[in-house]
Homo-oligomer: A and B are copies of this chain.
């Protein structure tokens, strides 16, 4: 595989010397946002679509990943002739604040020469969106034609619509929630404890030790990965089949599902930073859009003119349909223009990234309709 170490990749980015003041009160002295764009911005700067990535995603939404050499992470959604058609739209995707693919995050070196590590301030989904807004301004775009994302990306979509309603013509939150649930906080906390307990974590200052908390981060990824799949998907993919030739430490053969999870864990640690994992999962946990608006989610969207398309998947138990329905209801109470679809799928939360023709038809149709209203070629 043609890959490079995480820290040695050069990312396209823009730096804002004025920094960023965060929800928690801290001020980041500088703000760098790493991003990729695809397609061409039209003269009116009216055809831009922002893609927001999930917890472990990044800006390489429509091109080969520079670290892993793997296919674009949303290959079936974004590209020429795809639902988010880069022949028509100018697509932007940036690495989130707190990330590890070029945007300011805990792996950065501070002015005093030390890495932020665990001293990187806590961030919120709104902080991530503020950083994206800087990038969008920098690119000369006043209003985004659409903001689209799944999972934590969907949280950002909701926050964009709530915080900058006039800058979002259309919004597509997929497989997400307006409030992170107790169960999801619990799973995130397990992952964090696995990282924090790794002997190589060194209080977050592992950057110069030549080691990373790979074991703990792999366990975090493994538990998260289970939550991304449905029970049916796991049974169909693996069942109780054994992995030929792979001996377990405890019994002869390993189950395929074990081997698969171990592979997911071990490849993940090569492309992701443990401190970023802590920072970003925490931002998800603190996401509660209703709480930002007097515990009434509809207030977050009061008077909005944004058109919404809310999508969930029937077998998603991490962000179940009930969460999307709550969003759709709040939008209805705000008299917003909203359509809500539950896609029948047995693939679990991961369905938003997979070959789900219904999802792609829904997004494609919604964007075409919105393009008509926005005066864009549909």
Q: Which residues of A contact B (CB under 8 A)?
A: 24, 118, 122, 179-183, 185-187, 189-190, 192-194, 196-199, 215-216, 218-219, 222-223, 226, 229, 231, 234-235, 237-240, 248-252, 255, 257-258, 261-262, 265, 278-279, 282, 285-286, 288, 291, 317, 320
Q: Which residues of B contact A261 (CB under 8 A)?
A: 186, 189-190, 193
Q: Contacts A182-B240, A257-B189, A258-B185: A122 and B251 contacting too (C-beta < 8 A)?
A: yes
Q: Contacts A197-B198, A216-B197, A285-B255: A183 and B250 contacting too (C-beta < 8 A)?
A: no
Identify the 6 closest CB pairs spanning chains A and B, nearest first: A197-B215, A199-B199, A122-B251, A182-B234, A189-B258, A183-B231
Complex Cα distance A251/B287, Å?
13
**Interchain nearest-CB distance for A147 vs B (Å):** 25
Copies per assembly? 2
Q: Contacts A250-B279, A282-B250: A240 and B186 contacting too (C-beta < 8 A)?
A: no
Find the B residue at minimum CB distance from A224. Answer: B190
Q: Which residues of B contact A250 (CB under 8 A)?
A: 118, 122, 192, 278-279, 282
Q: Assess whether A190 is in contact with B226, with CB atoms less than 8 Å apart.
A: yes
**Interchain nearest-CB distance for A346 vs B (Å):** 13
Q: Contacts A118-B249, A234-B182: A190 and B223 contacting too (C-beta < 8 A)?
A: yes
Q: Assess whether B118 is in contact with A226, with CB atoms less than 8 Å apart.
A: no
- Chain B CB within 10 Å, residue with most, of A219, A240, A258, A279: A219
When the two chains form the complex, which single residue of B118, B187, B257 contacts A186, counting CB atoms closer than 8 Å?
B257
**Interchain nearest-CB distance for A203 vs B (Å):** 9
The 5 sampled A-B contact pairs (Cβ below 8 Å) are: A182-B255, A192-B250, A193-B219, A199-B199, A248-B282
Q: Which residues of B contact A237 (CB under 8 A)?
A: 182
Complex Cα distance A223/B192, Å?
12
**Interchain nearest-CB distance for A135 vs B (Å):** 25
When the two chains form the complex, which single residue of B186, B196, B231, B255 contacts A226, counting CB atoms closer than 8 Å?
B186
**Interchain nearest-CB distance for A247 vs B (Å):** 11
Q: Which residues of B contact A222 (CB under 8 A)?
A: 186, 189-190, 193
When the two chains form the complex, which single residue of B180, B194, B262 contacts A219, counting CB atoms closer than 8 Å?
B194
- Chain B CB within 10 Å, residue with most, of A182, A183, A261, A286: A182
